[in-house]
Structure 1
Amino acid sequence: MATPTQMKHAASQQGRTPSQLAAATPPVSTPFSASQTHAAFSPRGPRSSPQQFKKSPATSTTLMGHPNGALNFDSPSAAAAMGALGISGGLDIGLDHVGVGGFGGLGGMGEDDKIKRLDSVIDILGKAKGRVSEAGLERLTLRTGLTSIWDEHRSPDGRKTKMLVIAGQALTVDIVLNNNVVENVSLTFPESAPIVTRHKDQAAKILLEDLQLRPDQSPLTKTLDKFSENLERLANLDKLSVIPGLDCQEALAGIFECLERLFRWELSKLQEDAAMGGKPARFLQTTVMCMKSGRPMMHARDMVGLSVEYWTERRHVIPKTETVRYCEKQEKVWSILIGCKALDDGELFPPVRVSESWIS
């Protein structure tokens, strides 16, 4: 490294143009550096300024009759890309050697291929249920095939709230919103039997938890995914309840009553066993669930509908009294979801039956 030396003061340069100065032009680093064009960027090149000819050194050496040199790229990816396109090392960047045959297939798709691609795009967009908002809830209602209507209310303190009424054949869901934030949800079955209406409050609580904001959530990120699953389950049962006197909710409630009766009978038999003497009630219930006919649940574990639990992790571990509630919410439980489906064309006898006497 050269050490700085004391310079001699030359005569005053005031009034002289930059082209008359004896200072050397600093080296310029450009992506296009060639062996033939090195002299244009050399400090020992001509002392004339580029502004004198109204052009840059790169243009003067590449477009004014000088031969094209091989290109050197600072980035290996740029060189690889130029090589893949068939462009040579010179500056002849025409597309004569570039093969564009692969792009011809984009415009040659048939109608069937276009329809398939359009269906796949619709399926991808359909998976997104949207955000919790007035418009999002209204779109979700239309997608599930239910009807909706808006109703405005004014609270005693002067606040203006909206209520979205979602109605079907035999159900009604009322959602109260205040500035796109859900405050309350109520579920009613106007014409259903008491065995159905006795579980409606638990179902409404699950729907409210699906829409209500938690402390760690924002209205901009709260999605309708969980609420959509539960609403579609209710809508499917409502659509099948079109025959007069047929209520699929009542049919499932009757199955729940029978399975609950079976679960209590098996639990009582297990309590009579001498080997199970002194065991806590939760341990006995878990044993019946895993070793017997399972435990029926109606509107439980964030799912609206009838389910039968048949297995749980750490079933032999008896939790302490203060951790029972935590274990019930956090431990993983396997269950079967029971519902109704439409009648197939080949079936002669309707399989549905509304009864509470499956098991006497």
Structure 2
Amino acid sequence: MTTPTPMMNTPQKQAPASSSPAPRSVPAMVNFDSPAAFGLLAEGGVGMGISMSGMGMSSLGFTASAMGRADEDERRRRLQSIISTLKSRPGRVGPKGILDLCQTEGLSAVEESGVLVLQIGNESLCEIPVRNGEVVPEEVALGINGDEHDYAATASKILGDSLKPLPGMAKINVSLERFAHNLEKLLRIDHLSGPQNGGLSCYKAIFGVYTSLKKLFDHEKKAAMALRDSGDPLASYKAEREVLCKKSGRPRLNAGGRLGLSLEYWMDRRHVLPSHGKGKEAMDIDSQPANNNPEDDDTKMHQIYALTLECESAPASPFSSIRISDAWISDTVEKAPDAPDSDITNLLLNKPTLDWQDPPPTYLPSALPEGEHEALNLDNATGRLPNIRFVAKLSPPLVVPLLVFNYIQQSLNFGTSNDIRVGTFADLALKAGDPDPAMTGAQAEPTYEMRAEKKTLVLGEDGKEEEHRHDNWLYFPRTDYCVVIDSLPFSHPRQLVELLPTLRQYAFTTSLLSQTFGGTAQSLPSTKQPPSSGPRSQSRSKQNLGNDQKEPAVRLDVSVALASNGGPQLRVDIPAANAGSLSADDILACLTDERVTGKRVTLVVDVQSNADLVIKPQNLPTNGTDTTMSDNDKDEKQNVQQQDASVKRLARALEVCMDLGIWVEWVKKTMLAEGR
């Protein structure tokens, strides 16, 4: 096989680097002869300069019964285990560190004429220039055989960025961990494409899926553009994000600092569009540099949920083995409305039916011809199926209820693995770093409520920004056990596209609640009864309202139910604009569904398929008009129209800001003020 030629003219602009654990310092000498030294290890290496993050005590050979005094052989075994663990960690960025890393990985690497040459198997080669004893990340070049999508150029930039220090990090402290992670992905692809699988190219398989998904994306974007004003300089942005969040997703190669093919299916605050630059050319997404979108540089505002499509080793099966094809969908993309196999449901809803194709299996020769060790014969002769399958890895992982997880399993036809994480939504999605009471074996129920104090900037009557304090409480009326989804095996991209509406429901819910209750939220002990049904709630309310006599915090109560069929449902209790300070009795009455006119408004938010929001106001006034049924048909129709318009405004506002605190302030100032 020919040696790939690297592409040296890689872009110079630095993409945002992904986060990684801080580098760890290793002392020159540590005496492990005394039990006290092992006691320090058990407490995380305090005082020794060794970070135990990621090192479980069992991986170091320690057990509860082995922490006492041991003989010399046991001490020596433990010491060797520690040394082996430390040696397995990549060193610091530099020529020697990279060469040592390659030696550890069994990778051929040499330094020739000021360039580190890394031969990554038979399909790719990486060159890293070295000047004055230091690597030059901006000139890292990766070459891949059969690269038809400029994959190597963008991958080169990701590899180079992983050798650069993160913001605020000293150059001398840059670890090779990020670079090693990317190198491992390339090595895994090469290993799967080895002789044991007939030299089948996983790159070709992934590129084939990308070609079909890109065809579908371009078709849907063109249709979305046709419905927009051609003179709108942001029409391309809006159409692309519409397809990303509501249609079949946006496929990208080497996007967001991730090597490989990503199918992006959700973006937080998609309605917040770029405002920099002047004129159409400055703002049109089509004029941006290749593989660079403005949201990539602002991940805090626009967090993107994506599926990274890869290959993994798995027993051969006619229903799951990898197939090499770029014809997963027809050239017309959609079926004709009068086609005999068109979906009648889509026809009634005036929705297109996608014309998916089913490529034939990719067979390997039963035995390689004599003299051919890496050749792949993809003729029509039936041979053996490759022991490789497609897998979609979720970035970030997603938390869904158990019933939803079972539905996904049935859709993709795969069994449950032994390493799934089960717990409550609050513990898995909002307090992921805390131990889950549901999995500790304790008799107590899982966390029932959470509390977080937040500060929200709002515009005052004089047009100046004001800071309002919110005392946010999150309740879970019942225990809904959930699962963390890290990866999903699949055999056809159609399966993933059909799952996107469900994944978006929980991506939106996770982002919305994390913004209000994640990070600084305080988990509270579980209770047998709802917190609103006793004096416990009243005493809490009085304490919270008495924290600051000058400006008491606004009490925001959110109740979450993870409906198995209709998706997540949030009930939000909002103080009215003219309510002032609420008493404990007011809050108690509101939470027990005894409406307090002029004091509090209750809104129910249904997060439906594709994260479409349906707001159900229980006592929301509309422009000062009573929304109850009237004997006059004309008045009744007018009231219904006003209520419908108010509901749509509420949903649109929450979609735009994706922040419960900001949304509540907007409701108080706009909707409630108008109605009183």
Q: Normalising by the residue count of structure 2, what TM-score does the alignment of the two structures yield?
A: 0.33
Q: In the alignment, which of 153, 159, 166 is matched to residue 207 of structure 1? A: 159
1:88 corresponds to: none
C-alpha spacing 1:229/1:262, structure 2 compared with 1 (3 Å): same
Q: In the alignment, which of 246, 251, 269 is matched to residue 291 of structure 1? A: 246
1:53 corresponds to: none
| 1:281 correspondence with 2:249 | no
Question: Are the aligned partners of 1:297 and 1:308 in contact in 2 as well (CA < 8 Å)?
Answer: yes
1:132 corresponds to: 93
User: What per-residue deviation string (whole Å, max 9, x for no partner) do you get for residues 169-211 of structure 1?
Assistant: 211111111233222211112xx32425x22111112212222
C-alpha spacing 1:263/1:180, structure 2 compared with 1 (3 Å): same
Q: How far did 1:139 drift?
A: 2.0
1:172 corresponds to: 125
| 1:352 correspondence with 2:322 | yes
CA–CA distance in 2 between the matches of 1:311 and 1:276? 25
C-alpha spacing 1:180/1:108, structure 2 compared with 1 (3 Å): same
SS in structure 2 opposite 1:320? coil
C-alpha spacing 1:348/1:311, structure 2 compared with 1 (3 Å): closer
C-alpha spacing 1:313/1:124, structure 2 compared with 1 (3 Å): farther
Q: How far did 1:314 drift?
A: 1.2
CA–CA distance in 2 between the matches of 1:206 and 1:115? 40
Matches within 5 A, 1:253-264: 253-264=207-218
2:259 corresponds to: 304
CA–CA distance in 2 between the matches of 1:268 and 1:206? 30
1:246 corresponds to: 200
Q: How far did 1:218 drift?
A: 4.3
User: What per-residue deviation string (whole Å, max 9, x for no partner) do you get for residues 39-63 of structure 1?
Assistant: xxxxxxxxxxxxxxxxxxxxxxxxx
Larger Rg: 1
1:271 corresponds to: 225
Matches within 5 A, 1:57-136: 105-107=68-70, 122-123=84-85, 126=88, 128-136=89-97
C-alpha spacing 1:292/1:104, structure 2 compared with 1 (3 Å): closer
CA–CA distance in 1 between the matches of 2:66 and 2:240? 65
CA–CA distance in 2 between the matches of 1:237 and 1:213? 27
CA–CA distance in 2 between the matches of 1:114 and 1:141? 28
Please tell me the residue identity of whatever aligns with 2:223. Answer: K
CA–CA distance in 2 between the matches of 1:104 and 1:202? 49
Q: Where in structure 2 are there 5+ consecutive unaligned residues?
A: 1-64, 284-292, 331-676
Q: How far did 1:108 drift?
A: 6.3
SS in structure 1 opposite 2:263? strand
CA–CA distance in 2 between the matches of 1:133 and 1:297? 31
Q: How far did 1:285 drift?
A: 0.8
C-alpha spacing 1:295/1:138, structure 2 compared with 1 (3 Å): same
2:310 corresponds to: 339
SS in structure 2 opposite 1:220? helix
CA–CA distance in 2 between the matches of 1:203 and 1:107? 50
CA–CA distance in 1 between the matches of 2:226 and 2:104? 52
CA–CA distance in 2 between the matches of 1:336 and 1:298? 12
| 1:328 correspondence with 2:296 | yes
SS in structure 2 opposite 1:264? helix
User: What per-residue deviation string (whole Å, max 9, x for no partner) do you get for residues 242-267 of structure 1?
Assistant: 13451111111111111111111111
CA–CA distance in 1 between the matches of 2:143 and 2:276? 35
C-alpha spacing 1:358/1:117, structure 2 compared with 1 (3 Å): farther
SS in structure 2 opposite 1:239? helix
CA–CA distance in 2 between the matches of 1:276 and 1:116? 69
| 1:143 correspondence with 2:104 | yes
Q: How far did 1:217 drift?
A: 5.2
Q: Where in structure 1 are there 5+ consecutive unaligned residues?
A: 1-101, 154-160
Question: Are the aligned partners of 2:95 and 2:135 in contact in 1 as well (CA < 8 Å)?
Answer: no
1:316 corresponds to: 271
SS in structure 1 opposite 2:260? strand
1:95 corresponds to: none
Q: How far did 1:328 drift?
A: 3.4
Question: Are the aligned partners of 2:266 and 2:304 in contact in 1 as well (CA < 8 Å)?
Answer: yes
Question: Are the aligned partners of 2:225 and 2:235 in contact in 1 as well (CA < 8 Å)?
Answer: no
C-alpha spacing 1:285/1:104, structure 2 compared with 1 (3 Å): closer
Q: How far did 1:280 drift?
A: 2.0
CA–CA distance in 1 between the matches of 2:141 and 2:314? 31
SS in structure 2 opposite 1:148? strand
Structure 1 or 2: more strand by fraction: 2
Please tell me the residue identity of whatever aligns with 1:139. Answer: D
Question: Are the aligned partners of 1:195 and 1:254 in contact in 2 as well (CA < 8 Å)?
Answer: no
1:67 corresponds to: none
C-alpha spacing 1:347/1:108, structure 2 compared with 1 (3 Å): farther
SS in structure 1 opposite 2:148? helix
309-318 vs 205-214, which deviates more? 205-214
C-alpha spacing 1:251/1:117, structure 2 compared with 1 (3 Å): farther
Q: Normalising by the residue count of structure 1, what TM-score does the alignment of the two structures yield?
A: 0.59
1:231 corresponds to: 183
SS in structure 2 opposite 1:284? helix
Q: How far did 1:163 drift?
A: 2.7
Aligned-pair identity in percent equals 27
162-171 vs 215-224, which deviates more? 215-224
